[in-house]
Amino acid sequence: MSSDFSALRRRFPVLERKTYLNSGSYCALADSVRAAIESYMDDRLLVGANWDVWVTKNEAVRVAMAEVLRVAPTEIAVTASASAGLNALASALDFSGRRNKVVVSDFEFPTNAQIWHAQERRGARVVHARRAADGYIPAESFASLIDDETLLVAVTYVCFRNGAKLDIPGIVRLAQAHGARVLLDCYQAVGALTVDVRALGVDFAVGGMLKYLLGTAGIGFLYVRGELLPGLIPSDSGWWAQEDIAAMDITANRPAGSARRFEAGTPPVVNCYAAEAGLRIVLEVGTDAIEARVMELSRRCLEGLEEIGWPAVTPTLDPRRGPMVAVPARDAAGLCARLMQHNIVTSFRDANIRATIHFYNSPEDIDVLVAALRDARAEFHPGC
């Protein structure tokens, strides 16, 4: 595994021109990912329908994603998006009985609430764990919601609005005590933090490749714990979900014995090229080393913001935060645009600027951001 971060940084050309702190929206493009996309174009021009290679690429993504999450490849479905994975899973769940409650939180990305609310027509009852007075949602906030009627607890790992990380082991313990399953949306964490789904004890996990996994849009994953697969038959299905994709059987639905049963039609071919290349970088560096680097840089950012009198809304305790530092602003859109004028790439949600940090960032990147915010304080600080 490589931890020469200066050398790794040189593999992302945009960093020569930009202070790129936007991996939580769309990662910086690596040289090998660009080369992978170009190799797809070369294959198309040389061969045309290079079907065997396309199948191989899809399987390579499955294997690499399994290695990142530390699970078996048979437990991974390669999907078009996190939403596609969630919808396929939802179609396999039965909400008609007494155990029909779905618990979500106020920290969810819209997808991970909207899809479960969409199941209300099928009998689902969706309840929300609310924020405490300090803005965080401790595991205790779920205790009064998770009961023997709970089918699923569907929660994010890191909140896309403020960078807060939920206590997933604590929530899992509450769910397991009542026989409920846990789904983890790890989109804002996986690739920047170590996400060992077996160690966390979750039953399902979803995410995508365009953020910290260094790939591109249009491809995601769904993890399903192997022991649960036989009892989950999705009605949201397709050709690629079948046991034998070469059979071209139109007489029945014969789902694959693996998590591939949650896939759909033709795989996202060109995206597989990019995703495989991005995953290879993550595995090359190692998620433990990446997490240590990210947490060090985010700590530097939090401390720098304190020094200029502009503290983040992201929790300062290490167990409660991930790769995002969210900074409140009087005009978040305006501040984001101002930073862009100085070649500092961030994003914003609600009233917060989001600096989303990856291993390819440097201490100097953090210092540039803090200095720019100090200069913009009089105009954009919410208390000024």
- Over residues 312-347, the pLDDT tens digits come to 999 999 999 999 999 999 999 999 999 999 999 999
Query: Which among 224, 254, 283 is the end of a domain?
Result: 283
Low-confidence ranges of the chain (pLDDT < 50): none
Q: Tell me, what amino acid is at 327?
A: V
Looking at the fold, whether 264 and 290 belong to one and the same domain comes out as: no
Query: Which among 222, 255, 283 is the end of a domain?
Result: 283
Structure token digits, residue 177: 């005590």
Q: Which residues contact 366 (CB under 8 A, 6 or more apart)?
A: 297, 300, 301, 304, 357
The per-residue pLDDT for 2 is: 56
Angle at alpha carbon of residue 161, lines to 341 and 355, rounded to 5°: 35
The per-residue pLDDT for 3 is: 74
Looking at the fold, whether 184 and 218 belong to one and the same domain comes out as: yes
Q: Which domain holds residue 23?
A: 5-29+286-380
End-to-end CA distance of the chain: 46
Query: Which among 283, 304, 323 is the end of a domain?
Result: 283
The alpha helices in the chain, defined as continuous H runs, are 5-9, 31-46, 51-69, 82-91, 111-118, 140-143, 168-177, 197-200, 269-285, 287-307, 332-341, 363-375, 377-380
Judged by DSSP in three states, 371 sits in helix
d(CA 115, CA 101): 14
Looking at the fold, whether 319 and 349 belong to one and the same domain comes out as: yes
Q: What are phi and psi of 239, to 5 degrees?
A: -55, -50
d(CA 261, CA 233): 8
Say what the pTM is: 0.96
Looking at the fold, whether 112 and 211 belong to one and the same domain comes out as: yes
d(CA 281, CA 5): 12
The per-residue pLDDT for 158 is: 98
The alpha helices in 30-159, defined as continuous H runs, are 31-46, 51-69, 82-91, 111-118, 140-143
Looking at the fold, whether 290 and 279 belong to one and the same domain comes out as: no
Looking at the fold, whether 170 and 75 belong to one and the same domain comes out as: yes
Looking at the fold, whether 309 and 240 belong to one and the same domain comes out as: no
Looking at the fold, whether 155 and 253 belong to one and the same domain comes out as: yes
**How far does Cα 369 stand from its chain's mean position?**
24
Instruction: Report how far apart, in Å, the C-alpha atoms of 81 and of each of 222, 336, 379 are.
Output: 9, 27, 38
Looking at the fold, whether 218 and 73 belong to one and the same domain comes out as: yes
Residue 329 sits in a domain whose CATH number is: 3.90.1150.10
Q: Which residues contact 337 (CB under 8 A, 6 or more apart)?
A: none
Give the total number of structural domains in the chain: 2
pLDDT digits (tens, 9 = 90+) for 187-216: 999 999 999 999 999 999 999 999 999 999
Looking at the fold, whether 338 and 221 belong to one and the same domain comes out as: no
Looking at the fold, whether 195 and 298 belong to one and the same domain comes out as: no
Looking at the fold, whether 273 and 312 belong to one and the same domain comes out as: no
The per-residue pLDDT for 50 is: 79
